[in-house]
Amino acid sequence: MDHAQYPNSLAQLVKAGHVEHVPQDGYSNGLLIYRWIDDNFLLYSCGADVDDDGGVPTKWGEGKGGGDQGFWPVQDRG
């Protein structure tokens, strides 16, 4: 909101002092993944299958069946 646009990376949020560090992905040995798609972004974890499926979502609790755990954009799971 400071710049009226999304950051290019999560590291920019750290540099600006908005967060202390880029969050760790609880499933992989890496960080949460932040990826630009058109004029929006994806923020996700690799999920229980521990590989990057490009942000293709799965439902929480489906285990190692594949897919990523998305945080943004928020998906209607109804």
Residue spans per domain, the chain: 25-78
Residue 77 pLDDT exceeds 90: no
The sheet with strand 40-45 has its strands ordered as 33-37, 40-45, 69-72
pLDDT at position 43 is 94
| Interstrand relation of 33-37 and 69-72 (parallel, antiparallel or unpaired) | unpaired
Which tens digit of pLDDT belongs to each residue from 11-38?
999 999 999 999 999 988 899 999 988 8
